[in-house]
A and B are shown apart, each in its own frame.
Chain A
Amino acid sequence: MSANTTIEPVANPRAPLFRRLPVVSHFNKSMGLQRFMLVVGLVLTGIFLLTALAAPLLAPYGFAQLSDADGSFPTQQAPGGKHLLGTTVGGYDVLSRVIWGTQTALLVIIVAVVLSIFAGVILGLVSGYIGGWLDRILVVVADAIYAFPSLLVAIVMAIVISGGQSSLFGGILAAAISITVVFIPQYFRVIRAETIRLKAEPFVESAKVVGASNVRIMTRHIYRNATRTLPLIFTLNASESILTLAGLGFLGFGIEPSSAAEWGFDLNKALADTTSGIWWTGLFPGLAIVWTVLGLTLVGESINDLNDPRLRGRKRTNRKGSAAAAPAAANGSGPATELSNP
């Protein structure tokens, strides 16, 4: 997350650092419904994060625990009593697995997103700026992977990487790398497109005239502006990686139940229960997925809308006046320059 602090060109560069942090600055810009959605998203995401961190304290049992002092857990027991959300067909406690699942999800998000940001941003910058044959080849490869159903890419990668491995770390790494392979082309495309657009901007040309080196132009002039959307992609991809992880688990290519709790896997096992009317084994892991994805997407959504002046709520009375907004526009940062709105 620390990378995010540097890449967001905020309207007023003289505001204290705290107010310039991505989410904080967005919160200040927001109003009405947008603020509501941002706050709901932040709350949902915050609860998810807290649960992941405090899982050992919150979960009544271990994720692979099948018995306690009183003996084995009953199987497919309805919610209530000792097992608040019931037990699964295998005898796991549903509540515990839902809670422990947050940790798995968080770990996979972090590993997957960090890996793909590194690879995708570098490739996109270089490819877009240098152009030529390198660009052509990278675009074809990235397009081939990007256009292909991402879940299938992830499945193929999961088979290759894990190949029956079932340890917690191995499983998480396999899932994360599978997701990374899917994400790299996405970052690549976004960053490359922005780079190509920015390359033609007057401020890049003037930097060239002044004699700035290619590396300097790439890292200072273009990188700063091209990664404007990164916090957005970060949150959206975080939610996407949850969905991909769950999809992998649902198809049986995820993490073994004895090495970590994974919601998709639990849903897979719950599919057969549904037909006989047993709802609690599937409902709660499913709701956990929806909760997490919803929270992350609401945050990402709001940031997206707030970055785009056309979608931002109509709040025209800027306290500091247009003087503060002008430098940002002059930087060529974002759609503001494309707009001739009064």
Chain B
Amino acid sequence: MTTLIDAPPSDADALLPLKKKQAGGGLGQYILVRFLLIFPTILILVTMVFFLMRITGDPITAAMGGRLPPEQLQERIHAAGYDRPLMMQYFEYLGQLVTGNFGTTLSDNRKVTEMLTTYGAATLELSINAIIVALLVGIPLGMVAAHRRDHLPDAVLRILAILFYATPVFFAGMLLKLVFSVWLGWLPVAGRAGTRTELSLTALQAPTGIYWLDALRSGNMAALSDVMSHAVLPALALGLLTAGVFLRLVRTNVIGTLGKDYVEAGRSRGVSEFRLVTKHAYKPALIPIITVMGLQIAVLLGGAVLTETTFEWKGLGFQLANYLTARDFVAVQGIVVLLAVIVAVTNFIVDIIAALIDPRVRY
């Protein structure tokens, strides 16, 4: 949500002191402390999820309850060790995590690590596509809006940005599906690729799991176009949500830098208005966007759950929804831990960038 609250227009002046006087010993220490903070962050999330999930009961009853007679259920609970004290299970689970053992899913009996890499690739592909859409749409439109500030294009674009934000991903996806797949019949309704393409891609040696990359490597153009046509609608649905955020950010920041003296100086020297926006005002305005882009990862991952469900895109989010419905807590914990690691590391990088830009951030 705070994604929508504008970051304050970039303070280009704040950048200068850093260049003049070197950051000093504070920065190295800050980076170290901030790096060490990654671990408690992950630990907190893992702990929260572990105990919250256990409040609702043990995983086996949750997953199999009603489908097995009570004696058998008791047997399986005992065999898996779920009848031991909770703290013992917790520390055992932590120990397993440290050694990279995420356990085996209850509902479909797969290794969690294998499940994570398979579906993680699909989610990664979707996220990359969405970010590309967001950047391609958001940045140019934001510059146009800033340039034509308070005129009709600005008004239209600002309302458009809010509209992008106000439309839930799944509703946008549903509308796109309805228009382009069902009514016009241009694009496939759901999935990541046609059955034949999917088979040919998984048969590759050492597939990356990112379909367009695999298709490109195998040189199979038919597969590539099939993958692309499947990717368009999910990428649009998820990307436009983020595009709205980028549009607003670019607009606000470019407006901020357009008012600076050096831009005025450029203008007085006869630099064209177009060049002023695209060269002079744009670059300093990009810095806060980089940090916000890091924060957008969390929004993207959340949106991915909804987008994947809408388009039956078999990634982490789609699976997460399935595992949650099946009450497969081992799988859910695995996915949450992976997401926690991604989020914690991204946040670390974002904070370091922010500290490099603005020394006041450090505490």
Given A190-B2, A275-B189, A289-B168: A152 in contact with B339 (beta carbons within 8 A): yes
Decide if B298 touches A186 in the complex (CB within 8 Å): no
Decide if A147 touches B343 in the complex (CB within 8 Å): yes
- Residues in A whose Cβ lies below 8 Å from that of B325: 252
Contact of A151 among B55, B155, B306, B346 (CB under 8 A): B306
Decide if A310 touches B256 in the complex (CB within 8 Å): yes
Decide if A277 touches B343 in the complex (CB within 8 Å): no
Is B132 interfacial (CB-CB < 8 Å)? no
- Residues in A whose Cβ lies below 8 Å from that of B154: 33
Decide if B162 touches A270 in the complex (CB within 8 Å): no
Decide if B343 touches A250 in the complex (CB within 8 Å): no
Given A37-B159, A251-B306: A267 in contact with B5 (beta carbons within 8 A): no
- Give Cα distance in the complex from A50 to B163, angstroms: 22
- Give Cα distance in the complex from A300 to B161, angstroms: 14
- Residues in A whose Cβ lies below 8 Å from that of B255: 310-311
Decide if A140 touches B343 in the complex (CB within 8 Å): no
Decide if A290 touches B166 in the complex (CB within 8 Å): yes
Is A335 interfacial (CB-CB < 8 Å)? yes
Is A160 interfacial (CB-CB < 8 Å)? yes
Which size class do A's interface residues fall under? 35 or more
- Residues in A whose Cβ lies below 8 Å from that of B197: none
Is B69 interfacial (CB-CB < 8 Å)? no
B interface majority secondary structure:
helix
Minimum CB–CB distance from A247 to chain B (whole Å) comes to: 6
Contact of B45 among A144, A276, A304, A311 (CB under 8 A): A144
Closest to A41 in B: B162
- Residues in A whose Cβ lies below 8 Å from that of B158: 37, 301
Given A140-B44, A147-B343, A251-B309: A267 in contact with B324 (beta carbons within 8 A): no
Q: Which residues of A contact B (CB under 8 A)?
A: 32-33, 36-37, 140-141, 143-145, 147-152, 155-157, 159-160, 163, 183, 186, 189-190, 196, 229, 232-233, 236-237, 239-240, 243, 246-247, 250-253, 264, 267, 270-271, 274-277, 279, 282-283, 286, 289-290, 293-294, 297-298, 301, 304, 308, 310-311, 313-314, 335
Beyond known contacts A32-B150, A160-B52, A294-B163: 5 more, CB 8 A cutoff? A33-B150, A144-B42, A148-B340, A150-B298, A236-B1
